[in-house]
Amino acid sequence: MNRILIAEDNPHIAEFIEAGLQAHGYTTLVVNNGREVADIASSKDFELLILDLGLPGMDGMEVLRQLRGRGETLPIIILTARDGVDDTVSGLEGGAEDYITKTIRFEELLARIRVQLRKVHQPTGKDETKLQIGNLTLDLLTRQVWLREKEIEMSAREFVLTEILARHPMQVMSREQLLNRIWGYDYDPGSNVVDVYIGHLRRKLGNDLIETVRGVGYRLRG
């Protein structure tokens, strides 16, 4: 049975999430203190952590840093009221698998949880902390990138963009999808920032790795 640790200090939100997950057959534990979360999440008794950032005792970002610093690979979904781009990038750069604001509907939260749990139960035989697509390797803990064993320097947003494309090889990602996931929903949809960052990646990774699908978006060749 899937056990999910919920780190949330708002009792109403915690009760809502817990009731919904239990109704779908999950076993849950609610913890409202960051220091307790950091200890309990290392117990190997859970398969996923839903992490609020505004926790007493220890901020959620520090919980994330401590867990990843200890080499914990427990999937972490950040669920928070903080909707700034910098917070989103920090959370993903710090090693969270997903970053969601509390305006999300429960059905979408449940779907994202299921995606992460499928990855946990899928026997890949590979290092779960790394993504490898052809000659491209991403270390999700250290946020390092190698191409043909040569390390490639990347900014935080360049890494997140590369990670999103690498998690969906040969799948076309639209400019709107990339804008929303990296720069936020309130970013100007007419901005060319995605094209600019794709240009940065092509200069670093070569022109052949990222394909432009005219009028749609971009995809990473496998």
Which tens digit of pLDDT belongs to each residue from 1-12?
Answer: 589 999 999 999
DSSP for 41-69, please give it: GGGS--SEEEE-SS-SSS-HHHHHHHHHH
Structure confidence at residue 43 as a pLDDT band (50, 70, 90) = confident
Q: Is pLDDT at 33 greater than 90 in this prediction?
A: yes
DSSP for 143-191, please give it: TEEEETTEEE---HHHHHHHHHHHHSTT--EEHHHHIIIII-TTS-TT-
For 4, 18, 213, the CA distances from 220, given in Å and listed in that order, are 32, 37, 11
What is the pLDDT of the chain when averaged over all its residues? 87
Please tell us whether the domain made up of 3-121 is placed in CATH 3.40.1010.20.
no
Q: Give the residue-averaged pLDDT of 91-120.
A: 87
pLDDT of residue 115: 86
Q: Give the residue-averaged pLDDT of 35-40.
A: 92
Distance between CA 69 and CA 104 in Å, rounded?
29
Strands of 27-31's sheet, edge to edge?
27-31, 3-7, 48-51, 76-80, 98-101
Residue 136: phi, psi to the nearest 5? -100, 130
Q: Is pLDDT at 37 greater than 60 in this prediction?
A: yes
164 neighbors 173 (Cβ within 8 angstroms): yes
pLDDT of residue 179: 81
Which tens digit of pLDDT belongs to each residue from 132-170?
Answer: 899 999 998 788 999 998 999 999 889 889 988 988 888
> Residue 76 in 3-state DSSP?
strand
Name the one residue in this structure whose structure tokens are 């952590």: 49
Residues above pLDDT 70, as percent of the chain:
92
Class of domain 130-220: mainly alpha
Domain locations in the chain as residue ranges: 3-121, 130-220
Q: Give the residue-averaged pLDDT of 179-192.
A: 70
Q: Is pLDDT at 126 greater than 90 in this prediction?
A: no
